[in-house]
Amino acid sequence: MNARNPVTPGLIRGLPVFVSAEKGGSWVKPGMTNVRAQFPGVGEWHYLDSAATAQKPQAVIDAITNAYARDYATVHRGVYQRSSDMTAAYEAARAAAARLIGGKPDELIFTRGATEAINLVAYQLPKEGRDRVLLSALEHHSNIVPWQLAGYAIDVVPLTADGHIDLDAAEAMVSDRHRVVALAHVSNVLGSVLDAKRAADIAHSTGALLLLDGCQAAPRLRVDVAAIGCDFYAFSGHKLYGPTGIGCLWGRSEVLGQMPPWQGGGSMIDRVTFQGSTYLDPPARFEAGTPHIAGAIGLHAAIEWVEGLSLGAIHAHETALVAECREALSAIPGVTLYGPADSAGIVSFNVDGVHPHDTATILDDAGVAVRAGHHCAQPLMDVLGVAATARASFAAHSDSSDIAALVRGIDQVKRIFSK
């Protein structure tokens, strides 16, 4: 923890949290008594769209404000004190992001988000004579389109009956033609959790590399890339209670060292002449130009906030809410649920005879925000046999009142469409 902001343990609505011992500290504003109250954008609003983007706790908002208003300077360039301090803060953010997933700071690249991270790997990883990538039927478009654009042939692993990636099928499909196996650690539609360690073993059995899309996993699961044995791990900041425009790509150092620069410019060079240039080692090699400084600072605050609550507590909290939500929706005639019962933080559903967009619009009138559409997973919609679903997704600030409001809203949907 930051020595400038000493903390003492407390307990907030059943979740452990660290409350500032310093008057006016940014961890919990004076007078706050629970997790939900730390989110100024939530209040009495029933926000159930955290899988799309998370609301921001006051600690993150304060960190970003201070980064621009009190502490701002460029990084990696200035010799004056504030620049040195900001550089140290920026690199501390890198160390925190690496620590969050069990990696090393020199293996953690800041990107604009997980989408850019996956594109970076798809374009810059040497194919070494292997021209195929193994994906699954539930992948987000950001883990499909980059491989297509980079010229890979795609093989698709089917799903089990309950919506998990079928790793038995993957084991039978992977070959020495596959350069990469790229899978979602947690599905953004079904919430199904991948057996990531087994996926790594399957990929490595033929010499392929494993990339995990961790966008939905990083905000709610304890991730340890070393224990998993993956080769790349991508996640975004804005789903982790941090700002938009910042994300991370972790890669094993020996693999990153084989990859050429992603973009050219300042900060990533060793020596430049008009005849040619040489480049710094990773991660600097992949971070051309002035970075999203305040984004990194905000991400660091978000990581410390999450760690203060503990990912184990967040996951347990969300798991209980998912179970409560699925039970409540299952009791409503005409509601179809998708995905496994043990989904992580996500419940996708449809109301019979009602387009999900209509469902979401009526729910919005009831003060409930859910996502409706194909969720950037159109191939999965084809597998499910629907054009779209409605999706409720939970966060640390969610509680049973959100589920009660969702149920009341769905009752209203059914009343309107039964007329």
Task: Please identify which residue in the block is written with the tokens 């900060």.
Answer: 267
The candidate with the shortest Cα–Cα distance to 128, out of 229, 258, 247, is 258
**Contact at 8 Å (CB) between 283 and 94?**
yes
263-269 long-range contacts (CB < 8 A, ≥24 apart) are 263/288, 263/289, 264/288, 265/289, 266/290, 267/76, 267/291
- Report the C-alpha gap between 309 and 303 in whole angstroms: 10
- Alpha helices (runs of H) in 177-292, residue ranges in sequence order: 196-204, 225-228, 253-256
In order of 182, 198, 208, 232, the CA distances from 228 in angstroms are 14, 8, 15, 11
- Report the C-alpha gap between 276 and 290 in whole angstroms: 22
Which residues make Cβ contacts (< 8 Å) with residue 363, sequence separation at least 6? Answer: 369, 370, 390, 406, 409, 410, 413
Tokens of 267: 């900060």
H/E/C letters for each residue in 58-91? HHHHHHHHHHHHCCCCCCCCCCCHHHHHHHHHHH
- Report the C-alpha gap between 152 and 254 in whole angstroms: 22
- Report the C-alpha gap between 405 and 412 in whole angstroms: 11
- Report the C-alpha gap between 13 and 355 in whole angstroms: 36
Q: Which residues are catalytic?
A: 376
